Amino acid sequence: MEHPVTLTFGVLPGGSTPEEFLAAVQAAEELGYDSVWVGDHVLWPVFWPEPVVLLSAAAAVTSRIGLGTGVMLAALRGAAPLAKQAATLQWMSNGRFRLGVGAGGEYAKEFEASGVPLAERGRRLDDTLEAVRALWTGAPVSLHNSAIDVDGATLDLVPSPAIPIWVGGRSRPAQRRAARFGDAWMPFVTTPEHFAAGLTNVRADAEAFGRDPASIRPALQLWCMFDDDLAVALPTIADRIESTYRVPFDRFERYTVYGDAEMWVARLREYVEAGVRHFNLVFAGGDRIAQLARIAFEVVPRLQAEFEG
């Protein structure tokens, strides 16, 4: 394990109302969390607000905490509008934005509605990232790929500081994408063993691209539920997983963390030992603010003392 280790924690606050969402965002900042994140689907069978709008609201009620998309389906958006949206959010938040991206693919209808063939989503995402990176420099861009076709185009708002790109996905193409474009690699739904193997791939790919592997932060997004009573924690997370993914929880349990502080520390320790340095917590249910507080006081300090000390 490298030294020194720095562990950070982000949260996807969720919320069924604007007030609930913003209250959780503010609580996360007050409790010392590193960042708040929001997911993305252009179309989805259930309620799913638009991430840039949510993060703009979050920026207005906070001053320190990082703001990220976890993750945005960037291939479904035009490269130039996305570059402008991200640069504007960086400006509005005084430099706190992180663009998390992923290929998606779980819901074909949103790709159909956006005019992006599902089979081409990986290439479109790579081309989008190439275009966005180029536009953010402020220099004239001449680029012709599946995401943009321009000669001498210039973005009028250059983000400062540079916007970090966090690349989601656990597949080999996603790992190569993180190695090529990413400031972080952040898979979802993966075990400690698979994370360690994937991180080895990302670092080898980074070297092949001529990049410093240490410049890519290893991160993980995972489903969670904090409650001292397993009779509450287990059915809560199981119900959420089964309703979301339509699979029995016993097939998904290895990708989650739930229970009391002892169970959390033991589980997250496995991921830290596998190389994770940032955790994004996706709550399955319950009182999110209460859980944020318990985790901030009972879990985070113990892990930081063990691995950072």
Q: Measured between alpha carbons, how far is 180 from 161 in angstroms, rounded to an integer? A: 20
What tokens were used for 211?
């990049």
pLDDT band at 63 (very low <50, low <70, confident <90, very high): very high
pLDDT, position 246: 87
- Write out the DSSP string of 8-32: EEEEE---SSHHHHHHHHHHHHHTT
The pLDDT tens digits of the residues spanning 223-255 come to 999 999 999 999 999 999 999 888 999 999 999
The pLDDT tens digits of the residues spanning 166-220 come to 999 999 999 999 999 999 999 999 999 999 999 999 999 999 999 999 999 999 9
Handedness of CA 178, 71, 149, 93 (dihedral sign): negative
Average pLDDT, the chain: 97
pLDDT, position 117: 96
pLDDT band at 256 (very low <50, low <70, confident <90, very high): very high
Domains of the chain with bracketed CATH: 8-306 (3.20.20.30)
pLDDT band at 46 (very low <50, low <70, confident <90, very high): confident
Query: DSSP E strands: which ranges in the chain?
Result: 8-12, 35-38, 66-69, 97-101, 141-144, 149-153, 165-168, 184-186, 217-226, 256-259, 278-283
| 141 strand-pairing partners | 153
Residue range 39-59: mean pLDDT, rounded: 95
Residue range 257-283: mean pLDDT, rounded: 99
Q: Measured between alpha carbons, how far is 171 from 175 in angstroms, rounded to an integer? A: 6
Q: Measured between alpha carbons, how far is 182 from 88 in angstroms, rounded to an integer? A: 20
Q: What is the largest CA-CA distance in the chain?
A: 61
CA nearest 77: which of 107, 36, 113, 46?
113
Q: Is residue 55 over pLDDT 60?
A: yes
When mean pLDDT is compared across 30-34, 43-47, 278-282, 292-296, the lowest value belongs to 43-47
CA distances from 8 to 18, 32, 147, 167 (A): 26, 10, 33, 17
pLDDT, position 3: 58
pLDDT, position 2: 60
pLDDT band at 4 (very low <50, low <70, confident <90, very high): confident
